[in-house]
Amino acid sequence: MTQLRLLVCLLALLVAGCGGETAQRTAPPLGSEAAPTTAGSTAPASGAASAEQAARAKPERPGLGTVWGENRDSRVHQVNFTRQTPDRPFAVLSLYYNDRAGIAAMMGHGPQPEDAENAFAVGDSRLAVRLLDEHGRPLPSAHRADRNYVIGEHGQRYVIEIRNPTGNRVEVVTTVDGLDVMDGGPGAYAKGGYLLDPGTTLVIDGFRRSAQTVAAFRFGSVANSYAELKGEGRNVGVIGVAFFDEAGARWPWTTPEVQRRQSADPFPGQYAQPPR
For the chain, 276 residues long, give each residue's pLDDT as a single digit of tens: 444 333 333 333 333 333 433 333 333 333 333 333 333 334 445 555 565 555 555 678 889 999 999 999 999 999 999 999 999 999 999 999 999 999 989 887 666 666 555 678 887 778 999 999 999 999 998 888 888 999 999 999 999 999 999 889 999 999 999 999 999 999 999 999 999 999 999 999 999 999 999 999 999 999 999 999 999 999 999 999 999 999 998 876 666 777 788 889 888 877 777 887
Please give the pLDDT value at position 8: 34
Please give the pLDDT value at position 41: 39
Please give the pLDDT value at position 71: 97
| pTM over 0.75, yes/no | no
Please give the pLDDT value at position 191: 95
Please give the pLDDT value at position 257: 74
DSSP of the chain, one letter per residue?
-HHHHHHHHHHHHHHT-TTSPPPP-PPPPTT--PPP--TT--PPPHHHHHHHHHHHHSPPPPSEEEEEEEEEE---------BSSTT--SEEEEEEEE-HHHHHHHH-SSPPPBSS---EEETTTTEEEEEEETTSPBPPEEEETTEEEEE--TT-EEEEEEEE-SSS-EEEEEEETTEETTTSSB--TTS--EEE-TTEEEEE-EEE-SSSEEEEEEEEESTTSHHHHTT-GGGTTEEEEEEEEBTT------HHHHHHHHT--S-S-SS-----
Please give the pLDDT value at position 192: 94
Please give the pLDDT value at position 110: 62
Please give the pLDDT value at position 46: 56
